[in-house]
Amino acid sequence: MAEDDLFAQNLSEVNFQDATQEFWFHVSAQEELPLAGEVQADLDLERASRFFKSVAAAQAANRREAVADLLLQETALFSEIRQFLGISDKRAYLDLSYIASRMPHPKNETSLCGCQPWTLSRHPLAFFIRLLDGANGKGTQREVALMLADYLLKHGLEMAAPEFAQMSIGVLEMLYARLISPREYQQRAAKRRGHGCEAALALVLEPVGVDLVPADKASNPMGARDPNVDLTTMEIVNRTAGATHSFDLIIRNEGHPRVLMQSLIHTSDPGQYGVNKSDETVEINRQINLWTSKNQDQPIELWALLDGVGFSENKPYTINKLLANVEHFIQLKSLFKAPLRAHKLGLANVEAISFRPCYSKQQIKQLRDLYVPEGVAVLPSEAPGPTNCRAIAAGNATIFVKN
């Protein structure tokens, strides 16, 4: 028996009218969620080994200066060495943003990073590497090098360097590949998976003719700027902290928002962030419903792109709350729901749909009754599409639209 048929048989009793059952039926494993671009997590192990040997050989009284000199010679070293000390990218830039905001600038009447302690700004790690490269002059360059040296030494470099210095390149490579790289990779990949899913959705919506904002989400998922909306006027506006909300995708109708979409992809424990985003979604949904009740000639729906096994860590306060407070939800395996709903709203023109054989006949009947608009044909999985139609892969189905 084919794997898809076995899948359908074993789960034939699922009730798609229950949103939670539908979500967990369609949930994707981490590796199934697409990455936007590539995750770069490699480093120069030969360079790292030389660094550890130099630090181990330095006299205690001169070790701080020696580390600073090494970082100035090879500015990429900081990002590489902090991984061996168990410091994540986020942990490093948050710590350094705090430290630099409280260090005096060598020349200007500001902090080392240019902001004040009472207006703490988050600076990405690339910001500090640019300073280390001399972007703000040699005086700042040296102070930043010393700050980074102090940070590494505080986090165990002095004790770790002699041990790492004794390891062969082969052992360092095994250590990095088995223990360091997976964690670093996962952290870098998490955000890219979210953007990858957004791009996959945009690739399904674009061919059916919807008006998407941002227009380049499919082609530039990491760089496309999320649109902001004033929820009192429902207009797309420039971001204003505390007054606007950002959305990952917006579908417009005659230039006005018709669908506001949030994307929440969690492959690991959503944590407090996931709880907060769920609470925020409840409030956004309340404001959208209030708007629609007062502007029935210009209704707006809240959609959510939701996926990931991480939601299983805290169902009541994350996924269950989200499913109860969005008009429409979509997953990677149910991308077909987006163009079908857009067709029902008069925003697209879908001719037909063909479901994959992973669904039983009863499951297809449920999906048809729930999501397939009147006039859209449901074709057998093995049947050819209508003539003069373009086939669009959409999760566990194929959508057909006129050429």
Separation between Cα atoms, residue 250 and residue 219, nearest integer Å:
16
The tally of CA atoms less than 13 A away on the side-chain side of residue 179 is 10
pLDDT of residue 206: 94
| 133 and 8 assigned to the same domain | no
**Cα distances (Å, whole numbers) of residue 136 to 27, 98, 130, 148, 186:** 48, 19, 8, 16, 33
Question: Does 274 fall in a domain?
Answer: no
Domain boundary among 182, 209, 229: 182
Counting residues of the chain whose pLDDT is more than 70, the rounded percentage is: 93
The larger pLDDT score, comparing residue 17 to residue 42, is at 17
| 104 and 152 assigned to the same domain | yes
What is the average per-residue pLDDT within 318-331? 96
pLDDT of residue 1: 41
Residue 304, judged by CB atoms within 10 A of its CB (0-12, 13-18, 19+), counts as: buried
| 128 and 3 assigned to the same domain | no
Mean pLDDT score of the chain: 89
| DSSP string across 35-104 | PSS-------HHHHHHHHHHHHHS-GGGHHHHHHHHHHH-TTHHHHHHHHTT--HHHHHHHHHHHHTTSB
Question: How would residue 121 be classed by pLDDT, with cut points 50, 70 and 90?
Answer: confident
Host domain of residue 115:
45-182
Q: What is the pLDDT of residues 209-221, one digit of tens each?
A: 999 999 999 888 8
Question: Does 33 fall in a domain?
Answer: no
pLDDT of residue 37: 63
Q: What is the pLDDT of residues 72-81, one digit of tens each?
A: 999 999 999 9
Question: Does 227 fall in a domain?
Answer: no
| 177 and 50 assigned to the same domain | yes
Q: What is the pLDDT of residues 259-288, one digit of tens each?
A: 999 999 987 778 888 899 899 999 999 999
Q: What is the pLDDT of residues 134-189, one digit of tens each?
A: 888 888 899 999 999 999 999 999 999 999 999 999 898 888 877 776 665 666 66
Question: Does 232 fall in a domain?
Answer: no
Question: Does 349 fall in a domain?
Answer: yes
Number of domains in the chain: 2
Tell whether the model's pLDDT for residue 88 goes beyond 90: no
Structure tokens at 107: 């020349």
Tell whether the model's pLDDT for residue 400 goes beyond 80: yes
Question: Does 380 fall in a domain?
Answer: yes
| 71 and 145 assigned to the same domain | yes
Residue where the block lists tokens 């669009």: 392
Instruction: List residues bridging with 397 in a β-sheet.
Output: 355
| 121 and 77 assigned to the same domain | yes
Separation between Cα atoms, residue 245 and residue 344, nearest integer Å:
26
pLDDT of residue 270: 82
Counting residues of the chain whose pLDDT is more than 90, the rounded percentage is: 66
| 69 and 141 assigned to the same domain | yes
| 54 and 1 assigned to the same domain | no
Judged by average pLDDT, the poorest of 134-138, 197-201, 226-230, 311-315 is 134-138
Question: Does 399 fall in a domain?
Answer: yes
Tell whether the model's pLDDT for residue 24 goes beyond 70: yes
pLDDT of residue 266: 87
pLDDT of residue 42: 63
| 6 and 117 assigned to the same domain | no
pLDDT of residue 38: 59
Which 8-state DSSP code applies to residue 365? Answer: H
Tell whether the model's pLDDT for residue 324 goes beyond 50: yes
Residue where the block lists tokens 């360092």: 172
Domain boundary among 152, 182, 212: 182
| 128 and 5 assigned to the same domain | no
Domain boundary among 136, 162, 182: 182
pLDDT of residue 170: 87
Question: How would residue 118 be classed by pLDDT, with cut points 50, 70 and 90?
Answer: confident
Structure tokens at 219: 């082609």
Question: Does 280 fall in a domain?
Answer: no
What is the average per-residue pLDDT within 337-354? 96
| 7 and 108 assigned to the same domain | no
pLDDT of residue 4: 52
| 344 and 389 assigned to the same domain | yes
Instruction: Specify the pTM.
Output: 0.70
The larger pLDDT score, comparing residue 205 to residue 221, is at 205
